[in-house]
Structures are given as structure tokens and as C-alpha cells.
Structure 1
Amino acid sequence: MRPAQSHPHLITLIMCTALSVLALNMFLPSLANIAAEYGVDYAYANLSIAGFLSISAVMQIVIGPLSDRFGRRPVLLVAVSLFTLASVGAALAQDITSFLAFRLLQSVIVVGTVVPRAAVRDMFDTEEAARTLGYVTMAMALAPMLGPMFGGLLDIAFGWRASFWLYTLLGAIVLLMVWGDFGETNARKSVTFMAQMRRYPLLFSSRRFWGYSACIAFSLGGFYCFITGAPMVATAWFDMNSAQVGLGIGIITGGFMVGNFVSARLIRRVPLLTLILSGRISAVLGPSLGLSVFLTGQGGAYLFFASAVLVGFGNGLTIANASTGLMSVRPELAGSAAGLSGALGVAVGAILTTVTGSVVNAENAPFAVLGLILGCSLLALASALYVRWVDQREPLTAAE
């Protein structure tokens, strides 16, 4: 197969993104079995998640500038190759230390959420980039919904190592797709890596960048609060079984997909920031109505999950458009911007997941969860309004 010379097709971008998301969550149903086979506590095996997230956050800060300096294609090829080899290592690991080492090396696949976004911004103008990212981010909706379900079936049928053999197969497929379809998109590479890193202050000093990044981080934060707290609400208040809980949690993902689809259809007719603000209003409206009704003592399961649908829909209108906005502040730093904002999102998500786990209990579950989601949605709305205020005072030109 000849190396690609032309820009990547949409399916290649989607596959890269989907693999990055699946790498985090597909094997989650197997954690207890992994701990049992290696004879360690569940908390120790859970380092395969916590450590993966921690390293992913740090790597996103580095991967972005690397792709700005050396190009999107070589960084993606190296990362997917390492992920595939690490998957083989994890599948064959005979002790927990080796398993965790290979598992943490798998975190290099975070490149799949950073580089495709930067590549889309390289290829298209602002409106078309937002439209394309809307379709790409749908993979971020389907993968969390289907990944754990399929991973659980693999565990039952073949054992937990089957998920890592599937990671190996998927890594090899994506590697071939990148090799044959992902031509270089970065036409403005830096002279040296350090020169690229020294340009980071251009992002640090950009109020637009931080406004868009905070909007994304708190939008995702509401999602993290929901998936962390919803199981407690469902079991303690509505006596739902595990299958019903899984369906309820997946419903916010359905709203996200619809929001992405609507955004992709409207982006050529509706301004970017208008779509973002509409999404934030939807995300505020859902938990506000839900919390108000629960406070009157009339809340139920359908209302609780319907509130989450509006949050997911709002996030669908927001994420791709805000990502395009932050990468448009300094197009020559698109990779760095995608990586830095991604790291911020992971960090905020980790904090809010911890806070939700600490605050939510059987007595206050629906009130606490909806309250936390509402707080995140309001902060994301405030961030979007801040960007609008900056736009009115300082219209964006070729460079901020």
C-alpha cells in the first residue's frame, strides 16, 4: 500500500477518534476479573483507568505541539503503532506490573482525539471545519455507549484478554488506514519543537482560547457528573436494574448525537457562536426544569433522564463548534490548541467526577446530580458569553 498523499477521508478521522475513546472504556466491565486474576485489590487494578487518564492529560499538552512541528501524519503513525504494540503487551502480561505498564503506554492513543481535530482545521475554513467536526465527534458519542457493552460480551465469552486482542486488531486496522489515507494536512510546520513550544504563550494570552476551552471543559463536566451520579439516582430512587441503568446513562449520548447532527446541518446558515449559545441554553434548561420539579416532590425517572437528554443535545451543539473556535484563534497552533484544551477538559472531568462521588448519596441523589449538572452548564454558558463579549470588543482577524 502506498503512503497517502491526499487529505484524509471522514471515515479515517472517525476511526482514529473512536479508537481513542474505546481505549478508555471498552474493557471497563473486566476490571474485577483483571484484579482477581492477578490477585490484587480492585483499587490497584483501577490504576489502569486513573493512570491512563492522568498520562493522557499530560500527553495532550505535548502531542499538539509535536503535530504542529513534525506534522499530523508522522505523529499519528507513531502513536497508533505504539498503541498496537502496547495492546499486544497488555494481552500477554503475566503480572499486574507488566499489565499496568503496557496499559499506561496505551494512553498514547489520545492522539486520536487531538490530531484529527487539528487536521480538520487544517483542511477547512471555520464553518466547514465545524460541520466536519460535528460528524467526527459523533464517534465520541457512539463509542462510550457501545464500547463497554461489547467489552462485557467479550469478557463473558473469551475472558478479559479478548478486549486487548481486539484493541490490537483495531490498532492495526487504524494504522493501515492512516498509512493509506491520511496525507499530511499541516502546511505550516515550525522550524523546531522548542520554537513551537515557545509559541504556547500566544495561546495562554488569548482570552478567546480560554473562553472556548472553559466552555468545552464545563460542558463535558456536566456529562461526567451525570454518568458518575446517575447510577445512584437510578438504583436508590427508582429501583432500576443494571440494564435499565445502562440504557438511562446512554440516553444522554443519544441527545449528544442529535445535537451534533443538527449542528452539522445548520453551521452554514447559523453563526458558530449562536449555535454554541443555543446549546448552552438547552443544557441549562434541562437540569433547571428537572430540579424545579424534583423540589416539588413530583420528580420521576422519566423526568430525570429527559433532563439529561437536553444536556446531551446542548453539548452536541457546543463541543465541535467551540473546538473549531479555539483552533481558529491561532490556526498555525491548531494542534497545540486542541491538545491544551483537551488536557483542560480531562483535568476538569477528573475533578468533577471526584466531587460528584463525594457529594451524591442515596438521600440527596437526584437533587445533587441535577444541581451539579446545572452548575457546570451555567459555567459553560458564562464562558460562551465571555467569548461573545470579547468578540464584540475585539473582532477576530487573521491573528488575535
Structure 2
Amino acid sequence: MANSSRVQFLDRTTPPHLVTLILLAGIAALSMNIFLPSLPGMTEYFGTEYRIMQLTVPIYLAMNAVLQVLVGPVSDKLGRRPVILTSVGLFVIATLGCIYAPNTAVFLAFRMAQSVIVAAMVLSRAVVRDMVSEDKAASMLGYVTMGVAVVPMIGPVIGGVLDQMMGWQANFWTLFILGLAIFAMAWADLGETQVKSGLTLREQYRQYPELLRSQRFWGYSLASGLSSGTFFAYLGGAPFVGQVVFGLQPAELGLYFGAPALGYFFGNFLSGKYSSRIGVNRMVYWGSMVTTFGVALSLTIFLFDAGTAISFFGLMTFVGLGNGMSIPNATAGALSVRPHLAGTASGLSGAIMIGLGAALSSLAGALLTPQSGAAPLLWIMLTTAIAGVIAIRVVIRRERQIGI
């Protein structure tokens, strides 16, 4: 394991600087949503239907989940540096393909290829675990994901301005330029942190059962996935609730919609500052409890017919706060169950998180109707949050049994 005290910025003979890891994770997050305000313009440009252009999101997430499973063992075998640099390089090429795509099919193919950048997000977490111990990893991951939390807040805003000024391609030119800059920074700063495995890739993949048989790995992964799943369910249902239930205008909805992000930012700050002192398990547990409290209170208000836009969206800050406390710590825990499989664990736990989130987001959108109000969404979120509390309690009980 590398010693984080030897870190020298822009010196690839030492472990990478925290800034590099934040930017690697940030470009992956930015590529998900910067172009969303441009979808109507892109639909018109390619002469297609909006529902076709909207596929840019699910196909990206689907490939994202698949690649998260694959990239971990590859990096455990070959090292973090070559896999990260390759992913960023391929992302830059795919982004050019999006810009010059002659039709919808080619654009969607290159958009799918852009998902290779997920390796930068997955492996930035694995690099942290390579460098430091579990509790310190949770603190560093808190700072990394705190930076990532800012990107989804400002990405669509920047994308909308760029689209209005220069057209939809400006968003992808921005991703292209940032990709090149981050590739150069990673090349100069990203020292290798993984001791390369002597196993073949087939042998690497055969080690998946070692993780899958671990109750602690499942507990941490489900705690992380269910915490984020609560937020994904919110993403799938909150626009409907805001527009149909409360009659908010788009500008108002945009203002209210960011409430969880503010809580998430603060929760990540708490993780970065206190995880080493309090411990991973307690941070995950209390984060899950905070999420459960916020959703339960919101649902109670609705059951008494007193729900308003302010109460609904305002209490979602607790969901963001709880996620910010639980996700980086649960991720650090999952990567620490089998430290020699940190890359594999990062990819697999990330795929579990994305899979649960996508399913819950779709479920929330499917169950909401004008007659139902916000109740189905809140029940989904509450059930998911409670399941997250149970998952981390299983981990705590298991560690007491084996004396960790």
C-alpha cells in the first residue's frame, strides 16, 4: 500500500494528489448531465423524436453498470494508471464522435462509448483505498465525492448557457477540452498505487465469489446502494411531484430540486472531517438513520394532508445529508473487506448501486399518477431507507461475531 505522505503533485513516481482524483471523478459525473438542457435542440438537429434522444441517459447508465463490473478486475491485474489513462483517452475520442455524428444512430453509439469514463470514477475510489487505511479512506472519499456532488448541481446550468450561446455541440466541446486537460494531468500526476496481480484476467474474475460470499461486502454494498437508491427514486419521481402535484413552473422546480444536493455536500464534508474519528460503521448507520428520518417526516406530513412544496423538497435535504454520510463510508467499507480486490470491489459495488438506483427510479416514475400525489414516491423512499439501515446493522452484527 502506498504511503499518502509521499504524495507530490504532478510527480507520477508518487501516488496521485487528491485534486487529480476529484477531477477524474468529476469529469465522469459531468458527462452524465451537462447536455440535458440541449436534448430538445439535439432532437431538432437530428430530425428525430424526443423519446429517441432521451435514450442518451439509459444507454449510458446501462453501459456504465456493465463496465463497473469489468473494470475492477482489469485494474487489479494491470494497475490503476493504464486503465484510467486508457478510459480518459477513449472518452475524448468518443466525445469527438458525438460532436461530428451524422445521424442519431451514430450519435447514440458514441454516447454509449462515452460511458468508458466510468473507469475514472470507479478507480479513483480504488486508488484512495490503495493509498490509506479504511477509516482514512472514508475521509478522503468524502472529499472526493463532495467535489463530485457539486458537478451535478452546476452541470445542467452550464450546459444550458453553453447551448443558448453556441448550440448543443458546445457542451460536448467542453467535455472534449476538459477530457484532454484531465488526461494531461493524470499522465503527469497519477502514480501507480496497485501492486499488480500475478493472476490472469480469468483468474481475477474467478475471485468474484470471494466477494460475493462475504456478508460484510453485501452489507456495505447494499447500504450504499439503498442510500443512493433513495435519492435515485427521488430523481425519478420528484419532477412529476413538483409539476403535477404542486404545479411548479420549470424555474421554480429547478430551484427546489437542488435541495438534496445541498445536504449531500454537507454530508460529504462531515464524512471527510469525522469518519476517521467516529468510524465507518457508525457513520453509515447514522447517515442511514438521517435519511429515514427525513423521508418519514415528509410522509407523515402528507398523510395528514399538510404537504407542501416547501415541506416535500425541504425535507429532502435530510436525504442528501444522510447519503453524504453513508455512501463514502459504505464504499470504503466495501473496498476494505478484501483489500487485495479493491478494484474489483469498487466496480461491483458501484454496479450494485447503479442497478438499484435505476430500478427504483423507474419504479417511482411508474407508480406516480395525478391522483396518487407524492405518497407512492415517499413510501418507496421510506422502504428503501429502512432497508439501508437493516443492511448496515447486518454488517455491525457480523463484525461483532468475527471480532473485528
Q: TM-score, normalised by structure 2?
A: 0.95
> Which residue matches 1:330?
338
| 1:101-120 mapped onto 2 (5 Å cutoff) | 101-120=109-128
**Are 1:312 and 2:320 matched, yes or no?**
yes
Deviation at 1:204, TM superposition (A): 1.1
Corresponding letter in the other structure for 2:181: I
**Are 1:141 and 2:149 matched, yes or no?**
yes
**Are 1:197 and 2:205 matched, yes or no?**
yes
> Which residue matches 2:5?
none
Going from structure 1 to structure 2, the CA distance change for 1:148 and 1:190 (only over 3 Å counts) comes to: farther
Counterpart contact for 1:63–1:111, Cα < 8 Å: yes
**Are 1:242 and 2:247 matched, yes or no?**
no
| 1:337-376 mapped onto 2 (5 Å cutoff) | 337-376=345-384
> Which residue matches 1:68?
76
> Which residue matches 1:127?
135
> Which residue matches 1:263?
271
Counterpart contact for 1:235–1:241, Cα < 8 Å: yes
Deviation at 1:187, TM superposition (A): 2.0
> Which residue matches 1:37?
45
Counterpart CA distance in 2 for 1:194 and 1:238 is 53
Deviation at 1:364, TM superposition (A): 2.0
Counterpart contact for 2:78–2:196, Cα < 8 Å: no
Deviation at 1:233, TM superposition (A): 1.7
Q: Secondary structure at the match of 2:277?
A: coil
**Are 1:51 and 2:41 matched, yes or no?**
no
Which segments of 5 or more consecutive residues in structure 2 lack a partner in the other structure?
1-8
Count of residues in Structure 1 that have an aligned counterpart in Structure 2: 396
1:160 to 157, 168, 173: 168
1:298 to 292, 300, 306: 306
Counterpart CA distance in 1 for 2:57 and 2:278 is 39
More deviation, 17-26/194-203: 194-203
Counterpart CA distance in 2 for 1:173 and 1:73 is 16
Q: Residues 240-284 of structure 1, C-alpha deviation per residue, up to 9 Å, x if partnerless? A: 221221121111011011011112211222121111110111011
Counterpart contact for 2:80–2:194, Cα < 8 Å: yes
Q: Secondary structure at the match of 1:299?
A: coil
Going from structure 1 to structure 2, the CA distance change for 1:3 and 1:80 (only over 3 Å counts) comes to: farther
Counterpart contact for 1:72–1:185, Cα < 8 Å: yes
Counterpart CA distance in 2 for 1:393 and 1:241 is 53
Deviation at 1:38, TM superposition (A): 1.1
Deviation at 1:2, TM superposition (A): 8.4
Counterpart contact for 1:188–1:332, Cα < 8 Å: no
**Are 1:78 and 2:86 matched, yes or no?**
yes
Corresponding letter in the other structure for 2:308: G
Counterpart CA distance in 1 for 2:37 and 2:10 is 39
Counterpart CA distance in 1 for 2:320 and 2:373 is 20
| 1:274-285 mapped onto 2 (5 Å cutoff) | 274-285=282-293
Which segments of 5 or more consecutive residues in structure 1 lack a partner in the other structure?
none
Deviation at 1:299, TM superposition (A): 1.8
Counterpart CA distance in 2 for 1:141 and 1:340 is 21
Counterpart CA distance in 1 for 2:310 and 2:362 is 26
Q: Secondary structure at the match of 1:268?
A: helix
Corresponding letter in the other structure for 2:286: S
Counterpart CA distance in 1 for 2:302 and 2:109 is 46
Counterpart CA distance in 2 for 1:2 and 1:170 is 17
Counterpart CA distance in 1 for 2:135 and 2:353 is 23
Q: Secondary structure at the match of 2:305?
A: coil
**Are 1:184 and 2:192 matched, yes or no?**
yes
Corresponding letter in the other structure for 1:52: Y
Counterpart CA distance in 2 for 1:335 and 1:233 is 38
More deviation, 183-192/124-133: 183-192
Deviation at 1:188, TM superposition (A): 4.5
Q: Secondary structure at the match of 1:380?
A: helix
Counterpart CA distance in 1 for 2:253 and 2:314 is 14
> Which residue matches 1:25?
33
Counterpart contact for 2:10–2:189, Cα < 8 Å: no
Q: Secondary structure at the match of 1:138?
A: helix
Cα-Cα RMSD: 1.4
Q: Secondary structure at the match of 1:137?
A: helix
Q: Residues 198-234 of structure 1, C-alpha deviation per residue, up to 9 Å, x if partnerless? A: 2111101111101111111111111011122112222
1:208 to 207, 216, 219: 216
Corresponding letter in the other structure for 1:287: V
